[in-house]
Structure 1
Amino acid sequence: MDWKEVLRRRLATPNNGPNKKKSEQELKDEEMDLFTKYYSKWKGGRKNTNEFYKTIPRFYYRLPAEDEVLLQKLREESRAVFLQRKSRELLDNEELQNLWFLLDKHQTPPMIGEEAMINYENFLKVGEKAGPKCKQFFTAKVFAKLLHTDSYGRISIMQFFNYVMRKVWLHQTRIGLSLYDVAGQGYLRESDLENYILELIPTLPQLDGLEKSFYSFYVCTAVRKFFFFLDPLRTGQYLNLDKDHNGMLSKEELSRYGTATMTNVFLDRVFQECLTYDGEMDYKTYLDFVLALENRKEPAALQYIFKLLDIENKGYLNVFSLNYFFRAIQELMKIHGQDPVSFQDVKDEIFDMVKPKDPLKISLQDLINSNQGDTVTTILIDLNGFWTYENREALVANDNENSADLDDT
């Protein structure tokens, strides 16, 4: 009987003696005395506190230092063995072929056109015969994922097999990437990913014609895509912009980007906030810049541009910051002989589009939530973008007229 049970019984025993009933304080004191007595007895049964702590499983392992070469080699070898074991757990080509044979053998008629189907009963039969490596794929959850509108309650054999193939390929890719995790921390640093892509280039048929002198540019471009937000990249101007061929871009060289209509005020902010070397931008910084401008609907891109627009570093845009950037648009309009546009009108339009929580401040989250962030930022930094927005109705009408003309012909 443990101390808790003894304590419970002692406290539960009524006081039927001639003495008066115990007070609440007396009961509390007695409870504490009993607890102290049995706790001390229980603790005394342990040899010492350190031995008690030894029963806790180890959960922290220190990484080997740079000078602990043997420990580092041991760690690398153990990781390699682990990844090899994980690789052997994946289906190989022969096992995939056997799986396809079993699925085809157990198809459930009738076929839909040329597509073979299988019901849940036969699905489970194949799972029993396919072997332990396939067990993870033959579950009710997977079957339900692939079940659509078949009136017989079946799934497509081809869709299921493609599902398995994709899973195997994804795991193979992850294992391959893990081999480049030099630090062994479960993530890839920029240098790790660069090594992976560089060694991958010779295996990509699409890059057969790529000269080796451009490998470094391709690797850098691909890595920046991954690290920015994994969106497609459309850049090809860097070498053309670099007029002095020093591998860097000055503010003047960057001003020729796109339609060459970005304001000097905005470009000043780019060179103030972004990492530069002696006042010039390297290729990696350029790629971040391009990614942001080419994907202005994305939150990551809006965050990049918002930081440039937030000249007072307050975490929001107010009338002052909007006017600061739009004055540069107005100046470009004068230079190009365009009619001036009132800032007051533009400011009202921006606040109407965004509808911020605070009627005087626009936060980054306000921009993202409004789904108008790309339009607002374009109005403030690019004359061509502003002109397109300002004449949007006329442009739409012109497009409609051109479409009607084509229909008539």
Structure 2
Amino acid sequence: MQIEDSDPSLKVIPRFYMKLPDEEDALQQKLREEARAVFLQRRSEQLLDNDELKALYVVLDEQHTLPPDGEESMLGWDDFCAAAERAGDKCKRYFTPFVFAKLQQDDPYGRICMMSFFNYVMRKVWLHQTRIGLSLYDVTGEGYLRETDLENYILEMIPTLPQLNGLEKSFHNFYVCTAVRKFFFFLDPLRTGKIKIQDVLACSFLDELLELRDEELSKEAQESNWFSAPSALRVYGQYLNLDRDHNGMLSKAELARYGTGTLTSVFIDQVFQVCLTYDGEMDYKTYLDFVLALENRREPQALQYLFRILDVQQSASLNIFALNYFFRAIQEQLKAHGQEPVPFEDIKDEVFDMVKPADPLKITLQDLINCGQGDTVVSILIDLNGFWTHENREVLVAEGEDPTAALLADK
């Protein structure tokens, strides 16, 4: 008040920060909720609907310039400006010099492709619609989604995805858990428990999820899509098969059977040491992180997950001790399969040659990501199958053999 009295102009500065109401203040919470709903409704009304998009297409089609060779319909700058005048007020935001320059593809006449512009507008409309839809689940209104928020969003989306029609309702919760984990594994690597709506829109995961609207989606596309019914059932089925005592959790011995059963016991022990467990056993959500890391070893988030497990000394680096600690288990597995163990010195030199770390005595996570061969390094240290595949890569490529079958044959 004293500051405002000393400078009257401060009294007219609008308030730009509103403290979030306490959870106990039901009236303020309701007021905030209603205000956000009204705001989002207004933003939604500013977007182009299907009829307006069709009208925009007609305007562009009538305004385009025919190219000399009769290929795609093109728009010159004058055509672009004329279309902007004929389009409705809602379209004005898209007809800017910046958009025109952004869509130019070295056309000798300085034009842009009409369909490229129309697809750009549709993509923008879809992004804004999705942003508004996600914001409805943002309870705090701060631009983030918690796990429960995203779970509710995906659960309510299931009936709109024809490819998920065959899922039994009893499996819906497991499906939602499987789908949400991919978002949080890649978009929340620091495990804060929330992800930015902006990051959700920027990644390709929503596109993969909405791909399930296609009733004629091929079997190959479904198998490669984490969010498809076959993929979710595959992951959950593997979990049930590993759970031999049927208690809904995985012990070390049960997880050791994952994949080809060639993950080292030292690595499995360290997984249970680092990851969240319950009375020494792993639940489905933790298992999903484990699967996502091993199935996407090339990705920085997966390498970050695996690096935390490999960093036995918690020094934010892998030194010779850490490499030897894990590789000894590989040597023991080689002996068990009747093969001659590879000297650690040879592997150590090979790993450092692949990574080329800034410090010649230790490897950081960034070194592992930057080298482009982090997935190979990790596989060499934790998986006999991965190590054997790397050691025999030239022979396998030449003969086209399956590495797992060849390893078992040697045994």
TM-score bracket for this pair, using the shorter chain length: 0.7 to 0.9
Amino acid in structure 2 at the alignment position of 1:375: T
Distance 1:274 1:111 in 2: 63
Counterpart in the other structure of 2:314: 313
- What residue number does 2:177 align with? 220
The sequence identity of aligned pairs, in percent, is 69
Unaligned runs of 5+ in 1: 1-46, 401-409
User: Take 1:395 and 1:66, find their aligned partners in 2: how far apart are those partners?
Assistant: 61
Given the two structures, how large is their TM-score scaled by the length of structure 2? Answer: 0.82
Q: After superposition, where does 1:149-164 map in structure 2 within 5 Å?
A: 149-164=106-121
Residue 186 and residue 52 in structure 1: after superposition, are their counterparts in 2 closer, same or farther (change >3 A)? farther
Secondary structure (helix, strand or coil) at the match of 2:285 reads helix
User: Which one is further off, 116-125 or 142-151?
Assistant: 142-151
Aligned positions of 1:147-296 closer than 5 A: 147-229=104-186, 233=226, 236=235, 237-296=238-297
Deviation string 1:216-257 (CA, Å, 9 cap, x unpaired) is 111111111111116664652222222222221111111111
149-158 or 340-349: which moved more?
149-158
Question: 1:110 is matched by which residue type in structure 2?
Answer: P
Partner of 1:97: 54
Alignment of 1:118 onto 2:72: no
Unaligned stretches of 5+ residues in structure 2: 187-202, 206-224, 402-411
Deviates more, 1:353-362 or 1:372-381: 353-362
For 1:83, the equivalent position in structure 2 comes to: 40
Q: Which residue of 2 aligns with 1:370?
A: 371
Give, as a single letter, the amino acid of the residue that structure 2 aligns with 1:135. K
CA displacement at 1:48 relative to structure 2: 4.3
What's the counterpart of residue 360 of structure 1? Answer: 361
Q: Aligned residue for 2:408?
A: none
2-structure distance, mates of 1:366, 1:119: 48
Aligned twin of 1:391: 392
Deviates more, 1:184-193 or 1:226-235: 226-235
For residue 188 of structure 1, give the secondary structure of its aligned residue in structure 2.
strand
Q: What is the distance in 2 between the residues matched to 1:220 and 1:121?
A: 52
Greater shift, 183-192 or 240-249, is seen at: 240-249
* Deviation of the 1:57 alpha carbon: 4.2
User: Is 1:51 aligned with 2:8?
Assistant: no
Of residues 55, 71, 80, the one that matches 2:28 is 71
8 Å CA contact 1:317, 1:361 repeated in 2: yes
Contact 1:111 1:117 survives alignment (8 Å): no
- Partner amino acid, structure 2, of 1:381: I
* Partner in structure 2 of residue 132 of structure 1: 89
Please state whether the residue corresponding to 1:330 is helix, strand or coil.
helix
2:367 counterpart letter in structure 1: D
Distance 1:113 1:188, change over 3 A: same
SS at the partner of 1:174? helix
Kindly provide the amino acid, as one letter, of the partner of residue 226 in structure 1: F
Could you say if the C-alpha distance between residues 112 and 261 of structure 1 is closer, same or farther in structure 2, counting changes exceeding 3 Å? farther
Amino acid at match of 1:389: H
Aligned equivalent of 2:218: none
Task: Give the greater-gyration-radius structure (CA).
Answer: 1
Partner of 2:217: none
d(CA) in 1 for partners of 2:394, 2:61: 57
TM superposition shift of 1:112? 5.5
Q: Which residue of structure 2 lines up, in the alignment, with residue 379 of structure 1?
A: 380
- Offset of 1:362 from its aligned partner? 1.0
Q: 1:226 to 1:335 in 2, by over 3 A?
A: same
Deviation at 1:351, TM superposition (A): 1.0
Return the letter of the residue paired with 1:128: E
> Given that residues 180 and 188 in structure 1 are in contact (C-alpha distance below 8 angstroms), is that contact kept between their aligned partners in structure 2?
yes
Q: Give the drift of 1:59.
A: 3.3
CA distance in structure 1 between the partners assigned to 2:328 and 2:113 by the alignment: 61
Look up the SS of the partner of 1:359 in the other structure: coil
The change in CA–CA distance for 1:383 and 1:104 in structure 2 (over 3 A counts) is same
Q: Tell me how many residue pairs correspond in the alignment.
A: 354
1:198-225: CA deviations, max 9, x gaps?
0000000111111111111111111111
Counterpart-to-counterpart distance in 2, 1:111 and 1:306: 58
Q: Counterparts of 1:315 and 1:148 in 2: how far apart (Å)?
A: 45
SS at 1:259's partner residue? coil
Question: How far apart are the structure 2 equivalents of 1:399 and 1:291?
Answer: 27
Instruction: Name the counterpart of 2:199.
Output: none
CA distance in 2, matches of 1:394, 1:218: 40
Deviation at 1:49, TM superposition (A): 3.6
Shift of 1:50: 4.9
Q: Deviations over 1:350-383 (max 9, x none)?
A: 1111111111111111111111111111000000
Q: 2:200 maps to which residue?
A: none
Q: Secondary structure at the match of 2:261?
A: coil
Q: Distance in 1 between matches of 2:321 and 2:278?
A: 30
| Pair 122,200 (structure 1): closer, same or farther in 2 beyond 3 Å | same
Distance 1:48 1:393, change over 3 A: closer
**Aligned counterparts of 1:386 and 1:167: Cα–Cα separation in 2:** 46
Equivalents in 1 of 2:155, 2:29: separation in Å?
Answer: 25
Aligned pairs (5 A) from 1:15-30: none
Higher relative CO (Cα under 8 Å, sequence separation at least 6) belongs to: 2
Alpha-carbon separation, structure 2, partners of 1:149 and 1:112? 16
Distance, in Å, in 1 between the alignment partners of 2:337 and 2:367 is 33
